[in-house]
Structure 1
């Protein structure tokens, strides 16, 4: 439906009742519709046959936003949506016409995975502030996907809600029915509700995306383009209280020893009011979290791992503000290593700290103030040390009882702007290190949502033999609308910045100044559906003492043609080389790195095909004879049927004559010239029985070896002198192997049974350039972990349990 700005009114269509309105707000057209109250029972079965649906107003006349921005839906693929509500939740029925129903894509996947599928979805924003929505999607195969969508973090699919849906394929297309309980939504406690809402449809065979309220892809984010849902009045929302008890049992075999254990615990969720929720995990069990993809890390910095534990993954959008909270610190590795005398041996050292309990409170007030509170407590952990002469053992605490806290205040305003205050603290019992960090963040957009002004000021305090204060800050401006876009920003981080007790930080003592220009075609033109051209200029310098580090120019581009094949590439170079202030591992020193010219190409085939392949090649050529890096990659995905999907990834890296840290003593810092080859293979496969049951296989083998060819002493001016006297054996080969075979069954809403078998091993050998066969023999001679586990979780809603009695 095409409308002009400023039109307000009721448009009636022959043959049905419609309460669609169109209003203009900040130059964005917002359609409106009314929800109708019902006291009739509605069966969620995909058959829209209850009489009450005939009384509902409709939302129709969807508008395409990809690839053709602004094109009305075709007559053969109309979409009609109706909304009802009662005191327990809202009901949505969608009739999605399709003149070729046999071509509707409906690949079966696990929950929260969308692959080669048609789908229908709804975005709901109970505060109507255009900044955060709950997203509920169901595919034509009946698979549910849900997420939280925010302007700051995009789509967060780690959130899992409890809602109900069903689909039905018909000779005219397909139908969807949903029920979304109020306890999964957040909205102010008003007698009359006014929600932001939008409905989406994807037609996979044409890669066509449509929305009820038009999304203009030339500016802003999806959440800015909500329509308005009126009509929900005087609802008596039920008590938001749920329990998810779990039972798990494990059988572990390692190095000839077999152990069995049984665990039990519970997650609790309580709605303090309609806006705020209390989440708590009691006696947590994370035994079925995925393996970390460990690597041979030769950099000066620790490897960062993604979160695998569901409690820390769900509902954390407030806590991720400002990148100051790294949840893997809670229940991670001990903070210290024990002191050992010459005649002692460390016999037991805990790899992980045990989490005692954790809770979080989060929500947002009617005036847009978001509040987040997180608290976690970890237990005391001891290492065991044995005296080699007497045989006696002693304990030494490597992590005391520790309390972790995060506090966030996030004020939204103006449709797409916010100011945020974040504080994190780590308090350890006894004479151990404590830490605190605070950040003030802002992101201000103009009324037309074409420009934004952003920045932050942060401070860190570490108390460990005195108090050390560190700081960082940034500021920038950007244009994020239209074909021509740009961004300019500056970042400063002092030498004492340290949030690693509860956050994650690496680079310090630097200034970084960036300029970016982008040109894009967002409408189909000629043989292309879209085109993105980006140009970046980055300048880095050391703060104390001042030192020019490097100037980097980057250009990258990508194109998608009418066959939905994507391709592109880019170049990057440092015309003056780099003064690397981190590789020497010593404050005030640096290593001269020659300039490089990097170029890359990629191609991605049409994902709608049974066989999809993605290939890329990245080549670094340094201004130094014989020094280069080659990074090819290959991705193959074969969809054998709508139930069976197989993926193979191969990611090798070949680094020739790179120079890196080799060691140091009181007088010298040593660098080594080395050859490094890395191969990473992964295979994943999944057979999905139905939309609630699947069998999955995940395999990964990572192999990296490094050979040192020559050693040098590092001079104060960053240059190197050959040093033949320093010649340690630093050659090494690292292998990591893991296999996960998992059966998963969602046997009831929010309730899951998971049977998991794992096989894993790893080794590090002080040799390199081994023959492939010999390397595997050494790997499989190492002790292997064999683990079989069963975990059952069951969702209990207080209101349903209450009715049992």
Structure 2
């Protein structure tokens, strides 16, 4: 272990030395736009006839980014973007010429969705550090999309409150936007310099044009922005907003009904221009999307995606290092009661209730990002019944608990950072506590040709005694040109455990990884792009040392000039594997024969009304009759610009797979099983307009497992047939969910949603039921039927304070129309 740490440390020092020595002058040209301040705000209506636009600075001379990188935009598609600002925010007025405006693609979607659309794109970076920007998009159908982009990685969970309008004209289409300062982070300075990138998507040819040239041969897209100059002495408004909500639920389950009424509020406060406090008071997450439940036969828990908005929005700092898995907060209880001889559990909670949570995040003028997250969950009980005494009692299965995350992220240069992350879990009483800390670096040379990164983490679990574990990694990658390479080392010790506020997964191994990739940088022949890559993974167990596996992987993808995508690959372990996890006992392993896995996939042109994606993947093992076939089929049909249908189906047929089933004091038992899984998903959306939508989501997951024979695991990893083990492990599992949702964004940041939900699941210890028998059994199970209404309303302090101002006196000769215009102007300027 000490040798591993010394090796990783030496490699880290070497890479840092290479990085420092290899810093080259930044040769990337950055366009500059000097904008002016206005006194009268333009009306956001998609018509650029306001006085404010007359002398505005204009961004023009766009350059193609995809597919032909570097080619000037055709004159027929010339794009001109006017930019101005005032004390409330920044305004954009874009005119995008089109010789055939009647063919502009404008599919309606829900907010934060882009379909078959032309769109206008803004990337704003208040710190001008080329690392984290805010993304604002409006489609030709008027739909808003926003996200945070960090080093080229997009997080669309963030939702801002901003204003836009579009209009299609005889020779162009226009997008007009107002972005309040309350949505942008920037340092407190008299004179501001912001990063700016502007793009236009011309969907008919799937071409993307950018204002500042983006060199696709190297680096991340977000590092190629230009600059805004001229913003100075702005009097920023108070950044304070409230999001009160009320919700009601009528739930029916297993013959019993209940009516629930909730009310609460989210609060957002700008501590200063750079830091923001987000707080949820009396949370309600009853309308979050259902989880895609599965029957889990693996050695590790299933990691489900976070669906709760508070835990997905504005969390990019807290996701540094992957120490934070927010599903731990308000998740399944961590304790289990001790039962007496005649006791049984009559009620066990499925989750722990969240009392409140807050997060503070921002970045200083010196580019130090600071994030603080805290949440408190309430004490939770299980109910226990004694059949002899006929008495009931409660037992604590989760005490009052506090969860805390601290992040420090220092950025420097164009695309470099060093970060520290700490997570801490404190539980009341004798329940276990935990702490984890990590240090991370991510460096890219100024030429944007090489990237270096690594980490070192430690975990402490306190439960009577303290267990300490570590993980670390070091990596380097060539990120430019047609030929690209990567090499890395990663290790994790057996006592590493971040499961109290993170997700651990596999432990006690070291991984050596190498990669080579080749890609087209410009269209060639009949192809728009081509990507080939070769991957090598070599894994060993650390304690005691043991070969785990060696995996070779090849991937390919091609896109033609008619936007038909296809590709495939091949993977093989080549040698027999030693699986160190499936036995679920430290120090043991099971031998797994080598496998060969070819696959192919296709993806048709998504501009068409009908599009299709499909994959076929086949595993063949060096063992008679053992294999797995996976098939995925995903058609979609756009009935109109308002109505679309999506269907997703995948099937897995696995024969003679071998897996853990049980153990006793002396033996570990495995079973040979056939497992068939079928998943069907249907989604449909009808979009009334850019504010109102009706959506349907249906999912049925079915799997059956049939065991043919059982084995005892030997010390050398062999499996010996065991005819004495006869426990039944056959199973059939179903998960069924239907969500029918109506959403109405009736005001900026404000939403009304109506949801009908139907869900059920079944588990039976038999297999190979007929189709009818399976569904009869499923529909005999208790069903949840729920109807809920939730209304949230966005309240901005700057708008609220005007409610209490005295209405101005109107002269007798003032017309009603001019007063309406006065009120309209006040509304525009105050958000």
* TM class, shorter-length: over 0.9
Aligned to 1:138: 138
Q: Deviations over 1:344-398 (max 9, x none)?
A: 1111111110000000000011111000000000000011101111221111000
**Aligned residue in 2 for 1:112:** 112
8 Å CA contact 2:108–2:141 kept in 1: the answer is: yes
The equivalences for 1:781-796 within 5 A come to: 781-796=780-795
CA offsets per residue over residues 757-803 of structure 1, 9 Å max, x none? Answer: 00000010010011011101100010100000000000000111111
CA contact (8 A) 2:352 2:377 kept: yes
For residue 19 of structure 2, what is the aligned residue in structure 1?
none
Identify the residue that residue 53 of structure 2 maps to in structure 1: 53
Partners of 2:187 and 2:578 lie apart in 1 by 54
1:453-602 alignment runs, 5 A limit: 453-602=452-601
Between the aligned partners of 1:737 and 1:35, the Cα distance in structure 2 is: 55
- Equivalent residue number for residue 16 of structure 1: none
CA distance in 1 between partners of 2:350 and 2:755 (Å): 22
Q: Distance in 1 between matches of 2:679 and 2:82?
A: 49
Preserved CA contact (<8 Å) 1:203 1:209? yes
Q: Which runs of 5+ in 2 are unaligned?
A: 1-23, 805-831
CA–CA distance in structure 2, aligned partners of residues 341 and 735 of structure 1: 33
**Structure 1 gap segments, 5+ residues each:** 1-23
Distance in structure 2 (CA, Å) of the matches to 1:391 and 1:222: 68
For 2:468 and 2:706, locate their aligned partners in 1 and report how far apart those are by CA, in whole Å: 40
Corresponding position of 2:28: 28
The Cα of 1:522 is off from its aligned counterpart by 2.2
Q: Structure 1: how far apart are the matches of 2:41 and 2:208?
A: 32
Does structure 1 residue 70 correspond to structure 2 residue 54?
no
Mean Cα displacement is larger for which, 441-450 or 124-133? 441-450
Deviations 1:66-104 (A, max 9, x none): 000001101111100010100000000000000010110
Q: In structure 2, how many angstroms separate the alpha carbons of the residues matched to 1:677 and 1:317?
A: 38
Indicate the RMSD between aligned Cα atoms, in angstroms.
0.8
Matched, 1:97 2:97: yes
| Structure-2 residue corresponding to 1:720 | 719
Q: In 1, Cα distance between the equivalents of 2:67 and 2:617?
A: 29
Contact 1:571 1:598 in 2 (8 A): yes
Contact 1:404/1:426 (8 A) holds in 2: yes
Whole-angstrom CA distance in 1 between matches of 2:390 and 2:101 = 76
CA distance in structure 1 between the partners assigned to 2:336 and 2:284 by the alignment: 25
For residue 799 of structure 1, give the secondary structure of its aligned residue in structure 2.
Answer: helix
Please give the alpha-carbon distance, in whole angstroms, between the structure 2 residues aligned to 1:351 and 1:691: 37
1:317 and 2:316 aligned: yes
Deviation at 1:711, TM superposition (A): 0.3
Give the Cα–Cα distance (whole angstroms) in 1 for the partners of residues 712 and 52 of structure 2. Answer: 82
Name the CA distance, whole Å, in 2 between partners of 1:551 and 1:758: 46
Determine the C-alpha separation between the residues in 2 that align with 1:51 and 1:86.
Answer: 14
User: What does residue range 394-405 of structure 1 map to in structure 2 within 5 Å?
Assistant: 394-405=393-404
CA contact (8 A) 1:522 1:529 kept: no
Distance 2:216 2:225 in 1: 13
Q: Distance in 2 between matches of 1:162 and 1:781?
A: 46
Distance 2:51 2:802 in 1: 27
Q: Residues 246-279 of structure 1, C-alpha deviation per residue, up to 9 Å, x if partnerless?
A: 0000000001111001000000000000000000
Q: Deviations over 1:285-305 (max 9, x none)?
A: 000011111100000100000
Q: Is the 8 A contact 2:42 2:51 kept in 1?
A: no
Deviation at residue 51 of structure 1 after TM alignment: 2.2
After superposition, residues 143-542 of structure 1 pair within 5 angstroms as: 143-151=143-151, 154-542=153-541
What residue number does 2:83 align with?
A: 83
SS at match of 1:442: strand
Q: Which whole-Å CA distance do the structure 1 matches of 2:338 and 2:672 have between them?
A: 34
Measure, in 2, the Cα distance between the counterparts of 1:384 and 1:613. Answer: 51
Q: What is the CA-CA distance between 1:567 and the residue it aligns to?
A: 0.4
The 2-side partners of 1:52 and 1:698 are apart by 45
Q: CA deviation at 1:25?
A: 7.2
Report how far residue 331 of structure 1 moved: 0.6
Partners of 1:506 and 1:683 in 2: CA distance = 31
What residue is the counterpart of 1:704 in the other structure? 703
Assess if the C-alpha contact under 8 Å between 2:735 and 2:762 holds in 1. Answer: yes
Give, in whole Å, the separation in 2 of the partners of 1:476 and 1:694.
Answer: 45
Alpha carbons 1:450, 1:480 under 8 Å: kept:
yes
Aligned match of 1:124: 124
- Once the two structures are TM-superposed, the CA of residue 442 in structure 1 deviates from its matched residue by 0.5
How far apart, in 1, do the equivalents of 2:220 and 2:103 lie? 31
2:425–2:435 Cα contact (<8 Å) kept: yes
- CA–CA distance in structure 1, aligned partners of residues 767 and 596 of structure 2: 29
Task: Deviation per CA, 1:611-635: give whole Å up to 9, x if none.
Answer: 0011110000000000000001000
- The SS at the match of 1:651 is strand
SS of the aligned residue for 1:777 comes to helix
Taking the aligned partners of 2:701 and 2:564, their CA distance within structure 1 comes to 30
Q: Supply the distance in 2 between the matched residues of 1:447 and 1:606 (Cα, whole angstroms).
A: 37
TM-score using structure 1 length: 0.97
Structure 1 residues 124 and 500: CA distance shift in structure 2, 3 A: same
Report deviation, 1:284.
0.4
Q: Aligned equivalents of 2:214 and 2:458: distance in 1? A: 39
CA distance in 2, matches of 1:768, 1:52: 71
Secondary structure, aligned partner of 2:54? helix
Take 1:545 and 1:660, find their aligned partners in 2: how far apart are those partners? Answer: 22
Question: Conserved in 2, the CA contact under 8 Å of 1:119 and 1:203?
Answer: yes
Q: Which moved more, 1:388-397 or 1:787-796?
A: 388-397
Alpha-carbon deviation of 1:52?
2.2
Could you tell me whether the CA contact under 8 Å between 2:452 and 2:476 is conserved in 1? yes
Counterpart position of 1:12: none
Distance 2:25 2:364 in 1: 22
Please state how far the C-alpha of 1:222 moved relative to its aligned partner.
1.3
Deviation digits for residues 520-550 of structure 1, max 9, x if unmatched? 0021100000000000111000000000111
**Count of residue pairs the alignment pairs up:** 781
